[in-house]
Amino acid sequence: MTKVITYGTFDLFHEGHYRLLQRAKELGDYLIVGVTTEEYDQTRGKLNVMDSLMTRIENVKKSGFADEVLIESSPGQKALDIQKYQVDIFTVGSDWVGQFDYLNEYCKVIYLERTKNISSTILRAQKASIQRIGIIGTGRIAERFIPEAKLVSGINTEAVYNPHLESAKRFAKKWEIDAYESLDEFYDAVDAVYIASPHETHYQYIQSALRHKKHVLCEKPMVLARSQAQELFEYAKEQGLILFEGIKTAYCPGFTKLLGIACSGMIGTIRNIEACFTKLENPLSRELTDVKYGGSFTELGSYVMLPILKILGSQFQELRFDSIKGENGLDLFTKAYFTYGEGMGTATCGLGVKSEGRLVISGTLGYIVVEAPWWKTAYFEVHHEDPRDVEKFSERFLGDGLRYEISDFLSMINGSSRSEYKLTRGDSVALAGVMEKFLETEGREMNAVMEGQVK
Ligand code: CTP
């Protein structure tokens, strides 16, 4: 019996796939088809796969050519599968010519001619109209957004707005997009906006963008008061629009995997989480001079609270803060202590004090440790009582990591809510609630709420 194997994503199953499977089957007597997992596709840069793994498997089965279907989840798997299943022929489309020659060591490699003028990429583009996105704000993070957005198919950055027209023009020239002086005209030119302006302006921009019927991806911290977050989410829902808080960690594949493992029982019941992120900032930077909204917690607090709220939940019993302050009263270093019935969490961040920046999740059977930069989760270890008993996990974190949240934002716009669990509306409301409490503790609350409110 001649065994043949082939692999693919098989998203939006099309004629090219059908013809490939048909010819693959004709090469032998028994056809094995490997279908990629979503996580594996993400790590190799395919960010917009539309069908779920189950749907893609079903479609491969429905073709009637596959005798067996397996799941492909890592790059080195093909050579192992070929040996394990005693495969005689590996085949794949001609778009891959040469790339799998190394498998000749294990079996015969055949490249089949690709069917012309059809691909999942073409179908995805046809199905989802291109979303034109505009950026509000022209700072550091906005600079990172454009190259990352270019890697996500289906989204096109076209416009920028900054009340300081000169900054907008400079930014627009660099990235070859359009600068707008009028906010109304800016909204007219786009379908969605990415808000990367100073924290305290988010609330008003989100509100005005939603009023103009635009989807919104807003940098963290989305807003600085719980009621504002609630109000905006409700308004977005009524309008049928997507409002999405951009905390890049929440959407990166490594962090999603880490949460899955933390909640799987592998380290027992989770009792303590310590998350730390420090970044020495220039004392003259906005972050360390804006006495109303600057400081380490408003800047980095969203990251360090994220694992605590995702794992232990938002129903903490007690919350308190300790800060070390600079001469202008801004916090250079802050610890937020969350107390739960049977667990606790410490979120530590600093712009003027440097620390190791580690995430440790402790449970009744072991602990998970992620070294800095854990907020770009790429590698973590699970330890148990016996120090030799260590399990290691890794995931790719590509570029600046914004591509993951942009891709999830786009999927939500296109009607898939499969990514919503990564950072729910409830999570964002809870995060805003903690920010509000922090500002209140610091005596900065009146400003935050009053200036955010639009009459
Ligand atoms: N294939 C083909 N002819 C096409 C499209 C795909 O023969 N027009 C083959 C590929 O070469 C591969 C298999 O079908 O062997 C699965 O490909 P996959 O990557 O899932 O499909 P694409 O349409 O190429 O997907 P994408 O556009 O996302 O790259």
Look-up of token digits 């999603």: 256
Radius of gyration in angstroms for the set of CA atoms belonging to the chain, rounded to a whole number: 25
pLDDT tens per residue, range 398-420: 889 999 999 999 989 988 777 88
Q: Does the beta carbon of 303 sit less than 6 angstroms from any atom of ligand 1?
A: no
The predicted model gives 147-163 an average pLDDT of 92
Cα(16) to centroid of ligand 1, in Å?
7
**Cis geometry, peptide bond prior to residue 75 (ω within 30 degrees of 0):** no
Count of Cβ atoms closer than 10 Å to residue 251 Cβ: 23
pLDDT tens per residue, range 356-375: 999 999 999 999 999 999 99
Q: What percentage of the chain reaches a pLDDT higher than 90?
A: 85
Q: Does the beta carbon of 20 sit less than 6 angstroms from any atom of ligand 1?
A: yes
pLDDT at 452: 47
Q: Does the beta carbon of 22 sit less than 6 angstroms from any atom of ligand 1?
A: no
Predicted confidence band at 454 (pLDDT cuts at 50, 70, 90)? very low
pLDDT at 445: 60
Nearest-atom index, ligand 1, CA of 118: 8
Average pLDDT, the chain: 94
Q: Per residue in 48-57, is it b (16+ CB within 10 Å) or e — as a string?
A: bbbbebeebb
Residues with Cβ within 8 Å of residue 213, at least 6 apart in sequence: 239, 241
With the most atoms of ligand 1 within 8 angstroms of its CB, the residue from 23, 114, 118, 152 to mutate is 114
pLDDT tens per residue, range 250-261: 999 999 999 999
Cα(30) to centroid of ligand 1, in Å?
21
Task: Give the integer Cα–Cα distance in Å for 305 and 430.
Answer: 10
**The token pair that represents 175 in the structure block:** 């990235």
pLDDT at 174: 96
pLDDT at 39: 84
DSSP SS3 for 30? strand
Cα(126) to centroid of ligand 1, in Å?
16
pLDDT tens per residue, range 192-237: 999 999 999 999 999 999 999 999 999 999 999 999 999 999 999 9
For the chain, counts of helices (H) and of strands (E): 17, 19
Q: Does the beta carbon of 391 sit less than 6 angstroms from any atom of ligand 1?
A: no
pLDDT at 455: 29
Cα(118) to centroid of ligand 1, in Å?
8
Plot region of 265 (φ>0 → left; ψ -120 to 50 → alpha; else → beta): left
Asked if pLDDT for residue 44 goes beyond 90, the answer is no
Cα(8) to centroid of ligand 1, in Å?
7
Nearest-atom index, ligand 1, CA of 11: 20
Max intra-chain CA distance, the chain:
79
Cα(401) to centroid of ligand 1, in Å?
26
Look-up of token digits 């609330």: 203
Ligand 1, atom 9: nearest CA belongs to which residue? 93
- Distance of alpha carbon 218 from the chain centroid: 13
Cα(122) to centroid of ligand 1, in Å?
11
Cα(313) to centroid of ligand 1, in Å?
42
**The token pair that represents 399 in the structure block:** 């570029």
Ligand 1, atom 12: nearest CA belongs to which residue? 93
Task: Give the integer Cα–Cα distance in Å for 31 and 5.
Answer: 6
Ligand 1, atom 25: nearest CA belongs to which residue? 120
Q: Does the beta carbon of 114 sit less than 6 angstroms from any atom of ligand 1?
A: yes
How many C-alpha atoms does 307 have within 13 Å on its Cβ side?
Answer: 38
pLDDT tens per residue, range 52-82: 899 999 999 999 999 999 999 998 999 999 9
Residues with Cβ within 8 Å of residue 90, at least 6 apart in sequence: 4, 5, 6, 78, 82, 100, 103, 106, 107, 108, 109, 110
**The token pair that represents 110 in the structure block:** 């055949």
8 Å CB contact between 115 and 20: yes
Nearest-atom index, ligand 1, CA of 91: 15
pLDDT tens per residue, range 289-302: 999 999 999 999 99
Closest by alpha carbon to 401, among 249, 278, 256? 249
Helical pair 165-175 and 140-150, crossing angle rounded to 10 deg: 30
Nearest-atom index, ligand 1, CA of 36: 20
Strand partners, 270: 363
pLDDT at 394: 92
8 Å CB contact between 93 and 119: no
